[in-house]
Amino acid sequence: MALKYLWLLGDLPNDIKEERLHAPIDSYILQKLWNLNEEGVTCSADTFYYKGNSWSKISVYDDYFDLQKVIRVMAKQGGKTVIEQENEAWIEMAIERKRNLAHKRETKGVKYET
């Protein structure tokens, strides 16, 4: 994740190339993959899983690498680097979650500005 922050700030060390960065995996990225019906991604009570594990419990490297391959294909199809693809997906899911939260509050009668 630290490399993503350096990338966002335009401050990656010269010996680290943007094209080689992996996508940080978190619940936002699993949610995006779930929205795309990606195999192995499930959801229960607003928690997203890959092969039965939450993002923080993915300990099998092959599972992690499989997710990276899926994101790499998505990035290539969109003409982006993996980190650009992940960043856009993360922002999209953050906006979706904010809207869903606002909608839940409105249906309960709580006013919340989005």
In angstroms, rounded to a whole number, what is the distance separating the alpha carbons of residues 83 and 70? 13
In a domain, 15, yes or no: no
In a domain, 112, yes or no: no
In angstroms, rounded to a whole number, what is the distance separating the alpha carbons of residues 98 and 114? 7
pLDDT at 6: 82
In a domain, 50, yes or no: yes
Total domains present in the chain: 1
For residues 15 and 71, which has the higher predicted lDDT (pLDDT)?
71
In a domain, 14, yes or no: no
pLDDT at 110: 59
- The residues, ordered by sequence, that sit 6+ positions from 49 with a Cβ below 8 Å of its Cβ are 30, 41, 42, 43
Q: In which domain, by residue range, is 59 found?
A: 2-9+20-107
Which amino acid is residue 73, in one-letter code? V
pLDDT tens string 7-66: 878 878 888 888 888 999 999 999 999 999 999 999 998 899 999 999 999 999 999 999
